[in-house]
């Protein structure tokens, strides 16, 4: 399917001051603990600014982590509109095979609206306790855990709640979430290919694991901003959008990573100090700002998500003004030029030391300390011809080129970009960016003792072999 481009305009024509966008770019580039990957700004239905920090690109899917939840919720809304599920029905009513197992009255009283709003009654996330109770069926494990409070009375961010919501959609539709969403949401919105991580039963995780482009995130946000209507066609009911994007449950007393996580929770959307949002770990944001008729979509790699939001509120919000802003052509052109050349600095490194060329021509490295704690499946590193690095991970070699200037991009078997080189004659440091995720692995090889170390810049929440650090493919 060909993806229809979003309507485009200049920032000034839509009342966006380019200087505010410049200030935001300056701020994120200056923040050592924020690595931006992409930015898209929509105003009055038009794309006014967009950019990707090389080696990340516009057409590449990115792991959205918990921003996936907002797409799962849309699937539930569409199923409800078709009369296939009822948000006021008990969750257990959709899993009659568990009737004999689930005796706790609070578990039996849990409604679909409760799992959709993170108000199942549990006091904390139940992912690992639920898996401990039933490693094969997360829904059953979740329902076997008695809630600490009556459903609907307390907030707790709870991955199995969203998984259960997605499992109900799959059950009542007889389709995967992706197949159900494709003709009803993805195709009408003009969203291209997506991919979703699945569990051992074959079901999409729902609460995480969706890989999609930043463009897809912006389109979802714009659909909600337009109250469910896209190009004159109603895709989501106006009542659903209103309910999903208001606080269904209070979370003001919850200990969180920042104040924007204490503004209330809707149906798989967070309320913010400004507007509302879908968000995912490490800086995947869909910010919807009805008061400014604007949508901001980002992907990134940061553990300081509140800091990233603070920079949006500090620099981008003041940029939204009256329409149009006259006499801004040069400023708009300068911003467009800057956005077109965004790039992450490659890791520093020198070329292979000529005085040690023979020593580096063919050498093997073992994990320092016997085990690579950051990536236990990574058991050895081989270098051949002084420029070919092979990471032996889960028993298979992952070839990584080294010794080139800038970023070197490799597409198979895993899309990645490599930079770095020799920090001294006996030490090689390579930065490996897994381009369909927020994550980098930094590998350091020491010729002195024949060992290597590895560390993640941000630790993947979906643990597995390095070859799985990509959007799922049918062949995998």
317 and 432 part of one domain:
no
Q: What's the pTM? A: 0.96
Beta bridge partners of residue 383, listed in sequence order? 363, 389
We report the CATH number of the domain holding residue 230 as: 3.40.710.10
217-231 mean pLDDT? 98
| pLDDT given for residue 14 in this prediction | 98
327 and 403 part of one domain:
no
Put the strands of the sheet holding 62-63 in their side by side order: 62-63, 210-212, 195-196
CA distance 163 to 209: 11
* Per-residue model confidence as pLDDT tens digits over 93-106: 999 999 999 999 99
- Domain closes at, from 295, 317, 340: 340
Least confident of 162-176, 235-249, 326-340, 395-409: 395-409
| pLDDT given for residue 473 in this prediction | 83
| pLDDT given for residue 2 in this prediction | 58
Whether residue 408 is contained in a domain is answered as yes
Whether residue 347 is contained in a domain is answered as no
336 and 213 part of one domain:
yes
299 and 359 part of one domain:
no
Whether residue 217 is contained in a domain is answered as yes
CA distance 142 to 172: 19
297 and 336 part of one domain:
yes
Task: Give the domain extent around 252.
Answer: 12-65+168-340
206 and 305 part of one domain:
yes
We report the CATH number of the domain holding residue 388 as: 2.40.128
pLDDT tops 60 at residue 475: no
416 and 280 part of one domain:
no
- Domain closes at, from 340, 364, 386: 340
213 and 260 part of one domain:
yes
298 and 363 part of one domain:
no
Peptide bond into 55 cis (omega under 30): yes
307 and 358 part of one domain:
no
The structural domain count of the chain equals 2
pLDDT band at 254 (very low <50, low <70, confident <90, very high): confident
pLDDT band at 474 (very low <50, low <70, confident <90, very high): low
Whether residue 259 is contained in a domain is answered as yes
Whether residue 380 is contained in a domain is answered as yes
Whether residue 363 is contained in a domain is answered as yes
318-325 mean pLDDT? 95
191 and 311 part of one domain:
yes
On average, the pLDDT of the chain sits at 96
- Domain closes at, from 340, 373, 388: 340
Whether residue 40 is contained in a domain is answered as yes
414 and 379 part of one domain:
yes
* Per-residue model confidence as pLDDT tens digits over 104-115: 999 999 999 999
pLDDT tops 50 at residue 5: yes
Whether residue 119 is contained in a domain is answered as no
pLDDT band at 476 (very low <50, low <70, confident <90, very high): very low
């Amino acid at each position: 399917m060909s993806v229809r481009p979003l309507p485009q305009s200049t920032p000034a024509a839509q009342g966006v001051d380019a200087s505010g966008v410049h200030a935001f770019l300056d701020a994120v580039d200056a923040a050592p603990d924020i690595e931006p990957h992409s930015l898209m700004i929509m105003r009055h239905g038009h794309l006014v600014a967009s950019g990707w920090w090389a080696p990340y690109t516009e057409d590449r899917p990115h792991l959205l982590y918990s921003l996936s939840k907002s797409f799962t919720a849309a699937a539930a809304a569409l199923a409800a509109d078709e009369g296939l599920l009822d948000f006021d029905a008990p969750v257990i009513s959709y899993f009659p095979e568990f009737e004999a197992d689930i005796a706790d009255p609070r578990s039996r009283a849990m409604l679909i609206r409760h799992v959709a709003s993170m108000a199942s009654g549990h006091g904390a996330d139940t992912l690992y306790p639920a898996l401990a109770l039933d490693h094969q069926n997360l829904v059953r494990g979740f329902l076997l855990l008695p809630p600490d409070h009556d459903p609907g009375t307390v907030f707790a961010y709870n991955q199995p709640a969203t998984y259960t919501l997605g499992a109900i959609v799959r059950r009542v539709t007889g389709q995967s979430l992706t197949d159900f969403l494709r003709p009803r949401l993805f195709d009408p919105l003009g969203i291209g290919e997506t991919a979703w991580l699945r569990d051992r039963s074959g079901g999409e995780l729902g609460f995480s694991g969706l890989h999609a482009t930043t463009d897809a995130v912006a389109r979802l946000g714009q659909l909600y901003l337009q109250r469910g209507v896209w190009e004159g066609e109603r895709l989501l009911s106006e009542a659903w959008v209103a309910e999903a994007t208001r606080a269904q449950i209070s979370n003001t007393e919850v200990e969180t990573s920042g104040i924007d996580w204490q503004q209330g929770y809707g149906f798989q959307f967070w309320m913010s100090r400004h507007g509302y949002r879908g968000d995912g770990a490490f800086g995947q944001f869909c910010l919807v700002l009805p008061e400014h008729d604007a949508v901001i979509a980002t992907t990134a790699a940061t553990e300081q998500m509140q800091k990233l939001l603070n920079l949006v509120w500090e620099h981008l919000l003041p940029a939204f003004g009256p329409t149009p802003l006259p006499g801004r052509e040069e400023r708009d052109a300068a911003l467009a030029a800057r956005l077109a050349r965004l790039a992450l600095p490659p890791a520093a490194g020198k070329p292979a030391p000529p005085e040690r060329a023979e020593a580096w021509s063919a050498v093997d490295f073992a994990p320092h300390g016997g085990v690579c704690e950051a990536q236990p499946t990574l058991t050895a590193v081989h270098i051949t011809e002084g420029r070919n690095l092979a990471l032996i991970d889960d028993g298979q070699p992952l070839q990584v080129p080294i010794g080139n200037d800038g970023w070197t991009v490799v597409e198979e078997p895993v899309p990645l970009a490599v930079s770095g080189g020799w920090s001294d004659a006996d030490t090689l440091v390579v930065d490996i960016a897994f381009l369909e995720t927020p994550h980098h692995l930094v590998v350091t090889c020491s010729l002195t003792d024949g060992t290597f170390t590895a560390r993640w810049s941000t630790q993947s929440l979906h643990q597995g072999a390095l070859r799985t650090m990509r959007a799922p493919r049918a062949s995998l």
